[in-house]
Amino acid sequence: MTHANENIEALIIRSVHGELDDEESLSLNRELLRRPELRDLKSEYEALDRATTAALAAWWSRPVNRDDATEMLSGPRRSRRTWLTVERWFIPSAVAAMILIAVFLPGQRDASRNSSPVPNPAPTVATRGPWEQPPAVRVGTTPTSVRRNTSRDVVGVIGKDGRFYILEMDRTRTLRTPGRPTSTTARTDGL
Amino acid sequence: MGLPAEKLEHLEQTLIERIRARDPSAFTRWMAQNERWIRGVVYGVLGNRDRVDDVLQQVWMLIWQRADSLRDVRNWRTWVYSVARHAALDAGRDTTRRKRLISGPVEDDLPDPRSREKDAAAGLTEHHERVLRAIEALPAIYREPVILRHLEGWSYRRIAEVMGMPVDSVETRLVRAMRMLRDQLAEPSIDDHDARERKH
C-alpha cells in the first residue's frame, strides 16, 4: 500500500471512529466518490468496528461477582462480625483455661517455680539481770518452714467497651508448712 | 436524558472526595459507575481474560488504601488508570517470574474453567471469541486504546487524557491497531480451516 493510500486508510478509520473534522470529512468524501474500492474498505472497517464493540460488550456483560469487592470495603462491619465469631469460642475457652490453671497449676508450681527458702529467725534468748532466775527458753529451729512462690496468673476481664482483655500478673504466695518440733527446753545456765 | 458532562464530572469528583474521607458507600457507588473502563484497562494490559477479576480485586483494594495520595481530584481518572495499569503489570511480571522458576505451564497459562463457564453463560459466540482473541493478540500499547475506545466509546481526546499521552499518539495507535485487527480477522481461523478439512 502506498503512503497516500495509508493516509486515506487512516482517514477512513478515524471517520469510522467519528474523529474527523469538517475539512478532513470533505477530503475523504471526495476520495470515496472517486474510488469504489475505498468505499469497500470503509464498509469493512465499519463492520470491524461493530464486531469489536459487540465482542467487548458481550465479554463485559458476563456475570461477575461484585459482592466480594463491596464486602471488602465494609471494614467496620466486617471486623465486628469477625470479632463476634472469635468471641463466641474465645471467652468460654478462656474461662475453661483459667479454671484448669486454678485447679491444677498450684501443685506443680510448688515443686518447680521460683522456690526461695526464707531463712529461719535465730533462736531468741531473753536478756536478764544477774539477780533474776533464768527463764526456760525454747532452743532450736522454728516449727514451721516458709516458702515463697512467684507465679504468673492469667485473668480475663470483659471491659466496659465489650471487649475481652487478658491480664497477666506476677503473684507471690507465701506457703507455711508445719515442721517437726526439734526444740528442747533448757535453762541458759545449764541447769 | 442524562446529566451534562460537567455536572457528571462534578458528581464524580464529589464521590472521590468522599472516598478520600473513607466513606465505603461512596466507594461502592463509584465502583459501579467506573468498573467498566477500569476492567477494560486491566484486560488491556494483561491481554488475558482469565485473570482480570483477580487483578481487579487488587485494584479496588489499592484505590481504597491509597486514595489519600491523590493530590488533585480533577486528575482522578489518570491516577486510577495508573493504579490499575501498574497492578496489572505487576500481575503480569509475577506470572513471568513464576514461568522462569517453574518449567512447564504455570497455573495462569491454563484457561480458568470458571472464566470459560462465565463466557459461555454470557452467550459469547464463536465470532465474539475470535474477535477477542484477535484483540488479545495485539501488542499491549495498541490493545489498551482499542479496548477503551470500543468498550466505553471514548473519544481519542478522553483516552489521551486518561492514558496521559498526546492525542496524536492515541490516533496513531488506534489506526495501527485497527489495521492489525483487520489483517488478523481476514485470515481464516484454525476452526475455519478444520471445518474445511472435514468437508473435503
pLDDT digits over B100-126, tens only? 555 555 554 555 555 556 666 566 889
Mean pLDDT (whole number) for A35-58? 95
Taking an 8 Å cut-off on Cβ atoms, the answer to whether A56 and B150 are in contact is: yes
> Would you say residue A136 has pLDDT above 90?
no
Chain B CB within 8 Å of residue A41 CB: no
Taking an 8 Å cut-off on Cβ atoms, the answer to whether B185 and A48 are in contact is: yes
Chain B CB within 8 Å of residue A69 CB: yes
- CB contacts < 8 A, A to B, total 102
Order of strands across the sheet with A144-158?
A116-117, A144-158, A164-178
Chain A CB within 8 Å of residue B66 CB: no
pLDDT digits (tens, 9 = 90+) for A67-81: 544 455 554 444 444
Q: How far is A26 from chain B (nearest CA, A)?
A: 19
Distance separating alpha carbons of residues A26 and B89, to the nearest angstrom: 42
Mean pLDDT (whole number) for A120-140? 48
Q: How far is CA A26 from CA A3, A19, B51, B53, in A?
A: 20, 13, 45, 45
- Predicted confidence band of residue A5 (pLDDT cuts 50, 70, 90): confident
Which residues in chain A have Cβ-Cβ distances shorter than 8 Å to B60?
Answer: 69, 72-73
Which residues in chain B have Cβ-Cβ distances shorter than 8 Å to A62?
Answer: 118-119, 121-122, 124
Q: How far is B53 from chain A (nearest CA, A)?
A: 8
Distance separating alpha carbons of residues A97 and A86, to the nearest angstrom: 16
**Which positions ≥6 away from A73 have C-beta within 8 Å?**
B24, B27, B28, B60, B64
Mean pLDDT (whole number) for B66-93? 92
Closest-CA residue of chain B to A48: B182
Partner residue facing B128 (CB), from A48, A58, A66:
A58
pLDDT of A123 reads 47
Q: How far is B103 from chain A (nearest CA, A)?
A: 32
pLDDT digits (tens, 9 = 90+) for B151-187: 999 999 999 999 999 999 999 999 999 999 999 998 7
Mean pLDDT (whole number) for B137-161? 95
3-state secondary structure chain A: CCHHHHHHHHHHHHHHCCCCCHHHHHHHHHHHHHCHHHHHHHHHHHHHHHHHHHHHHHHHCCCCCCHHHHHHHCHHHHHHHHHHHHHHHHHHHHHHHHHHHHHHHHHHHHHHCCCEECCCCCCCCCCCCCCCCCCEEEECCCCEEEEEEEEEEEEEEECCCCCEEEEEEEEEEEEEEECCCCCEEEECCCC
* A85-B28-A58-B86 Cα dihedral, nearest 10 degrees: -90
> Would you say residue A149 has pLDDT above 80?
no
Closest-CA residue of chain B to A72: B61
Taking an 8 Å cut-off on Cβ atoms, the answer to whether B119 and A17 are in contact is: no
Taking an 8 Å cut-off on Cβ atoms, the answer to whether B57 and A68 are in contact is: yes
